[in-house]
Amino acid sequence: MRSSNPVFSREGSFTRDAGYAGFGTSPQAGSPYGQNPYGQNPYAGTPYAQQPQGQAPLTDEQLYQMYNGPAAGPAATGRMTLDDVVARTAMTLLTLVAAGAVAWFTLPFENYGYAVGASLVALVVGLVISFKRSVSPPLILTYAALQGFAMGAVSHAFNTMLNGIVIQAVLGTAAVFAAMLFAYKSGRIRVTARYQRIGIAVALGFVLLMLVNLVASAFGADMGLRSGPLGIVVGLIGIGLGAFFLSLDFHEIETAIAQGAPQRESWRAAFGLTLSLVWIYMEMLRLIAILRGDD
């Protein structure tokens, strides 16, 4: 094969016809050494010098493209990318919204039985997903469907009592998401170990307080945590915690992509984002209801 390099293609250079560095393969007239061994290919009889059968030799252009082409990206090697996270999150949220629409249009707003049942089952499925070592996309979509069904029934009831509150809660949730994404990407919020410890401690205390309030309300006692000025403070804390959860999600996604996590882990990231958005939406719904004078 003749080289495309003009230096190497000149007569008398590194060409097959001229031998090595211009020394021919045929013996020189009058040479006492006979045939020049340096002009022969010592590997001619080995399989390394044979072209595979049925395969044409590569041209200079093909070799150039092979060695100068772009390296395989994350998508080609099965690693998680931001596009994977966006696509899986969109699928999960669409499942949630579709199930919510079914509940909205099929259940009477006074009937909370199905909503409570779906919410409890969604809680169990969510715990299974959280503690399961391997990622299960069907379980994640099942959680989205159950949680969406429960949210659809609750949203219908709120919207019947306070017309337009659902749109307000959706816009508020989107605003919190956009603000947190901007704050995280701009470096205004940095997820450090101390930041995580404080936030998780506040979240655990908040959840415990809400459980106590739920048990008290079941026995007819009202602690006032979901009404009046105290309810507004609790609602703002709840939304703040949802924003904190989003920052953790952003950090986990960024770290997973940087470390080359498997593509399947994008489903776990989608599950985390869905949990945070559901939390923010429900807290936003309660807060707006209090501000509008009906809890």
Question: How confident is the chain (295 residues) per 10-residue block, as mean pLDDT?
Answer: 42 41 44 47 47 64 66 66 96 97 88 85 95 93 96 93 95 97 94 96 95 87 85 95 97 94 95 97 95 72
pLDDT at residue 8, as a whole number = 39
pLDDT of 63-82, one tens digit each?
A: 667 666 565 555 556 899 99
Tokens representing 17 are 């016809």
Distance CA 272, CA 92 (A): 11
pTM of the model: 0.74
**Angstrom distance (rounded) from CA 76 to CA 38:** 45
Please state, as a whole number, how many other Cβ atoms lie within 10 Å of the Cβ of residue 185.
11
Q: Report the distance separating Cα 14 and Cα 19, nearest Å.
A: 7
